[in-house]
């Protein structure tokens, strides 16, 4: 297994940049040039100068980096690192709901595949879903694939948010229970609780802050508590520890096996062998990119891949 320093050296020799999601293995985070949440990584892939972007995250993240930056080579070190929730929303389900709710805007969570994003009006992440839906001039919104995030958006905006499919979920966050949070709070009575919106309502209700992975990191610094209980995938604890934040998992079993498939070895292999190059059908890419851009336009964010 190569060391963090060896991987970093290899990346630099090849002019490649390594972007890693907050749930990646600690050593992969340590080797990365940038670690962040889905929204930050999408923006970063466009901002970096390098022609080769190695993306340490699950399939939909690498795919989004590729369709937003068609002039860059995006390498996914482990093509079998796939988000099961993204696979829960198919184009057939989208068609069915569009027919059932004609005229309702379709907002798709970043955790979905490009062919579904291409059918969407807007693509959001857990960092901006509430802000975008609250700006929409519609009371009924189709939202998928995470029904828990859909429910959270409905709570926060007061709109009718229809989840598609009906039971779309993240298996990792679904397994974090209110009794896990209670136990962790008993063990760490001074801790404040941070939760990802993919958690069930009862867990979200116990949280002092709900937000995307990087928003949780910022909240931990801003809330100023001595310690935190974190209701999300355990990879975030490494990021928090590096920042000197004392944090404990709501559940030590909240491990995303797909995020953990990427290793230093697979990153090194990806760079040496130039694979797996992420390819998206250009017609799908164009439509999916527009759905991301429409969300950015509505939120007043300038898209870095459009800047000259």
- Residue 109 burial (CB count, 10 A): 28
Cβ atoms of residues 64 and 292 within 8 Å = yes
Instruction: Count, in order, helices (H) and strands (E) of the chain.
Output: 15, 12
Cβ atoms of residues 74 and 80 within 8 Å = no
Tokens of 308: 């000259």
Among 39, 54, 58, 191, binds ligand SF4 (CB under 6 A): 58
Q: Name residues contacting ligand 13P, limited to 164-203 (CB under 6 A).
A: 170, 196, 198
38 binds, among ligand SF4, ligand 13P, none (CB under 5 to 8 A by kind): ligand 13P
Q: Could you tell me which of 59, 161, 173, 172 has the C-alpha nearest to residue 101?
A: 161
Residue 125 touching ligand 13P (CB under 6 A): yes
Among 37, 59, 121, 293, binds ligand 13P (CB under 6 A): 37
Among 16, 50, 142, 172, binds ligand SF4 (CB under 6 A): 172
* Neighbouring residues of 232: CB distance < 8 A, sequence distance ≥ 6: 173, 176, 194, 195, 196, 198, 199, 213, 216, 250, 254
Residue 262 Cβ vs ligand 13P, minimum distance, rounded to whole Å: 14
Alpha-carbon distance of 193 to 223, in angstroms, equals 10
* Neighbouring residues of 218: CB distance < 8 A, sequence distance ≥ 6: none
Cβ atoms of residues 285 and 65 within 8 Å = no
Among 259, 278, 284, 292, binds ligand SF4 (CB under 6 A): 259
- Residue 237 burial (CB count, 10 A): 20
Instruction: Sheet with 52-56: list strands edge to edge.
Output: 34-36, 16-21, 52-56, 73-75
Map residues 227-256 to x or -, x wherever contact with ligand SF4 holds by CB under 6 A: ------x----------------------x
Map residues 183-222 to x or -, x wherever contact with ligand SF4 holds by CB under 6 A: ---------------x------------------------
Q: Name residues contacting ligand 13P, limited to 126-155 (CB under 6 A).
A: 126
Among 19, 20, 22, 124, binds ligand 13P (CB under 6 A): 22
Residue 281 Cβ vs ligand 13P, minimum distance, rounded to whole Å: 23
Q: Name residues contacting ligand SF4, limited to 96-115 (CB under 6 A).
A: 111
Residue 56 Cβ vs ligand 13P, minimum distance, rounded to whole Å: 13
**Site of interaction with ligand SF4 (CB under 6 A):** 58, 83-85, 111, 170-172, 198, 233, 256, 258-259
């Amino acid at each position: 297994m190569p060391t963090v320093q060896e991987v970093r050296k290899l990346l630099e020799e090849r002019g490649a940049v390594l972007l890693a999601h907050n749930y990646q293995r600690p050593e992969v985070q340590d080797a990365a040039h940038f670690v962040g949440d889905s929204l930050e990584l999408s923006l970063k892939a466009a901002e970096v100068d390098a022609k080769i972007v190695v993306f340490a995250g699950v399939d939909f993240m690498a795919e989004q980096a590729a369709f937003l930056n068609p002039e860059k080579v995006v390498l996914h070190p482990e093509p079998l690192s796939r988000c099961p929730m993204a696979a829960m929303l198919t184009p057939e389900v989208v068609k069915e709901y569009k027919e059932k709710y004609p005229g309702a805007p379709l907002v798709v969570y970043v955790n979905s595949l490009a062919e579904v994003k291409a059918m969407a009006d807007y693509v959001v992440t857990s960092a901006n879903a509430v802000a975008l839906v609250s700006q929409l001039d519609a009371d009924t919104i189709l939202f998928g694939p995470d029904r828990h995030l859909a429910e959270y958006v409905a709570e926060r905006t007061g709109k009718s948010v229809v989840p598609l499919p009906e039971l779309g979920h993240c298996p990792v966050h679904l397994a974090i229970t209110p009794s896990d949070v209670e136990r962790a709070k008993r063990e760490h009575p001074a801790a404040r609780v941070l939760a990802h919106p993919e958690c069930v309502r009862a867990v979200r209700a116990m949280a002092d802050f709900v937000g995307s992975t990087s928003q949780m990191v910022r909240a931990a610094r801003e809330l100023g508590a001595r310690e935190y209980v974190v209701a999300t995938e355990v990879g975030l604890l490494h990021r928090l520890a590096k920042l000197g934040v004392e944090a404990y998992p709501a559940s030590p079993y909240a491990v995303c096996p797909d995020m953990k498939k990427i290793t230093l070895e697979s990153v090194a292999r990806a760079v040496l062998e130039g694979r797996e190059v992420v390819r998206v059908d250009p017609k799908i890419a164009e439509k999916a990119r527009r759905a991301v851009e429409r969300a950015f336009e509505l939120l007043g964010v300038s898209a870095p891949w459009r800047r000259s």
